[in-house]
A and B are shown apart, each in its own frame.
Chain A
């Protein structure tokens, strides 16, 4: 390269670098939307998006597609807690509760103890919800004993989960274990004093035990919190009439 050429190259760089850096800056700022997404997010988006599709055939197809991808990914990357959680969610959606339980538990095991981007909390929520759904299946088949097994497992994980406590209370109520039912509804009040449903059931239990002043107190509180509770209102008026007749 002779001197002239070198000089020309030098002169070129005077403009070349600024032009390149300016173009780069503007390009990256206004970069075109490019589809670059990790396979696990893509699969999970498919599973979630399928829920919004109204056509049942198309919905099932997309759901299965996303699910299949998640199954492959969980085998390929078995140590990704989030992938396990996503797969658990998929199984929950399609009603394969046993598989959902397995993957939720795996997500909790792999993802516990971190500070940021926690997945074990989400997986715990999923596990409890799946166990409750599983119990619901047995409750519907009048098999309260098996239902209690799953509910107890869920209770061991989340002892302060109010919907869970209500379900357990109802199961005990249905199987005439009044004291146990009373204990679980009472526990709800220690977490949230303003839970009208728990108050109603405690009132109902007190009425069956002939503790009418207690029952009236619970029911009055339930109605005061939620004036639209017709069941509580009806029971309350019935109890008041009964107690009036007695007096």
Chain B
């Protein structure tokens, strides 16, 4: 009766309606799990953006090698030789000129033991990243070790753990968000988003928590009830983890101020929240970054040095000619804008492989249409709320772009290293600006879940097929 009954879940007295079963969050969980697992296994090992180095960081954490160690002129930690060589064997494969991975070779590598006692010191250029975003992967590595400690299985274990973390957090986000549930579902099942979620990268925590923060802020904003202390503390805690997950998104937690003053209560509460969020923003650099600096580690390998980068010198150049900077900054959006848009939707592998451009363009339009149609009859965002949402969404895009401009080589007029995937976390905010009542219609209201679920299945099916045929 519990499993098959449509009317009542006897034990918990929860009405198990068709609507509840096919709710956006449940559909997301189901599709996300199936397609995410397919991506875990179909994406070549150590082959999403910087996945090799993120996995090494996770491995160091899983074996207690935190903080980073000093070894002669190197900074990093010890890796099993087999893990290092298997990971290295998947780097730099020129897929763009038709190279493929041999499945037989992959099968062969799956039989290589980890042999933790034979180690090599890895000079880690990303040693300074704080360990918080790697926690799900550590759990995955520990769990995988129980079953099979082969390096590729460890990676799959870490990927699966990251995927589960993402699915659970975003499930909650879709459940909590009072409006734009379908938009959030579509964004969470966007090929690039799910590809990142099924990889070992700090984007897993960044994207999922970003979605959750947006959901919570809107939940508190669009109800007719004051926010409780416990809820505020939960929000602060999530924001804290979020700030540790990835730098550059410090203004997203300030979405809290989309909540009307009536719902917050006294102005003291608002002030306390504002101060808390400001402190939280500074915490990663005040704690972990300071701690790593205090270790006075010397040497270490750099990721790239073909150009010299120095934020202060670049800032000097910018401030000496602010007009030229403004023009160059805008022109960067014109010249690289398409690449960044593609990067938010379907730039796979080690970020060099695009899905079909026409499909991606249509996908962008579909997301746009969903954001217009996914409206509500009885809820509305005020102009003030939209202004806050827009300022945070677009403001953070500008902050990230300026940050990368400053990190670009001294004297450069183009932005180096900025990828579209950095904007995924901000997409719910950008699309929220389209939320309105004007396009509400009955047909869409009735069929939206089914339409978006089918569409996502189709697009993700194509993505998995693309990965399988392009890389193998």
Chain A residues packing against B (C-beta within 8 Å): 6, 9-10, 13-15, 17-18, 21-22, 25, 28-32, 34, 36-39, 73, 76-77, 79-82, 110-119
Annotate B313-342 by CB proximity to A: 1 below 8 A, 0 otherwise: 000000000000000100111110110110
Residue from A17, A25, A36 in contact with B332 in the complex, judged by beta carbons closer than 8 Å: A36
Bound CA–CA A175/B265 (angstroms): 95
Min Cβ gap B26→A in Å is: 29
B383 & A110 in contact (Cβ 8 Å cutoff): no
Bound CA–CA A168/B352 (angstroms): 42
A114 & B368 in contact (Cβ 8 Å cutoff): no
Residues of B within 8 A of A13 (CB): 383, 386
Min Cβ gap B348→A in Å is: 18
Bound CA–CA A15/B390 (angstroms): 15
Among B307, B364, B412, B414, max chain A CB count under 10 A is at B307
Min Cβ gap B106→A in Å is: 24
Residues of A within 8 A of B383 (CB): 6, 9-10, 13
Residue from A29, A73, A80, A118 in contact with B308 in the complex, judged by beta carbons closer than 8 Å: A80
Bound CA–CA A15/B439 (angstroms): 10
B411 & A21 in contact (Cβ 8 Å cutoff): no
Is B305 in contact with chain A by the CB < 8 A criterion? yes
Instruction: Pick the 9 closest A-B CB pairs, nearest first.
Output: A28-B337, A79-B308, A119-B306, A17-B433, A14-B436, A82-B306, A117-B304, A114-B305, A31-B334
Residues of B within 8 A of A116 (CB): 303-304
Residue from B308, B430, B437 in contact with A77 in the complex, judged by beta carbons closer than 8 Å: B308
A117 & B306 in contact (Cβ 8 Å cutoff): yes
Bound CA–CA A73/B368 (angstroms): 45
Is B39 in contact with chain A by the CB < 8 A criterion? no
Residues of B within 8 A of A17 (CB): 386, 390, 433-434
Closest to A11 in B: B438
A25 & B306 in contact (Cβ 8 Å cutoff): no
Closest to B386 in A: A13
Other than the given A29-B338, A76-B411, A113-B302, 12 more pairs (CB < 8 A) read: A18-B436, A38-B414, A39-B411, A79-B308, A81-B307, A81-B308, A82-B307, A110-B308, A112-B305, A114-B301, A115-B302, A117-B306
Bound CA–CA A114/B332 (angstroms): 26
Min Cβ gap B424→A in Å is: 15
B399-435: which residues lie under 8 A (CB-CB) from chain A?
Answer: 409-414, 430, 433-434
Bound CA–CA A82/B409 (angstroms): 11
Interface residue tally on B, bucketed by range:
35 or more
Residue from B334, B361, B438 in contact with A14 in the complex, judged by beta carbons closer than 8 Å: B438
Instruction: Tell me the total A-B contact number using a CB cutoff of 8 A.
Output: 110
Residues of B within 8 A of A115 (CB): 125, 301-304
Bound CA–CA A131/B107 (angstroms): 46
Min Cβ gap A41→B in Å is: 9
Residues of A within 8 A of B414 (CB): 36-38
Min Cβ gap B369→A in Å is: 10
Is B167 in contact with chain A by the CB < 8 A criterion? no
Residues of A within 8 A of B413 (CB): 36, 38-39
Is B129 in contact with chain A by the CB < 8 A criterion? no
Residues of A within 8 A of B365 (CB): 25
Bound CA–CA A156/B307 (angstroms): 26
Bound CA–CA A39/B334 (angstroms): 18
Residues of B within 8 A of A80 (CB): 306-308, 409-411
Min Cβ gap A121→B in Å is: 10
Min Cβ gap B404→A in Å is: 14
B306 & A18 in contact (Cβ 8 Å cutoff): no
B142-163: which residues lie under 8 A (CB-CB) from chain A?
Answer: none
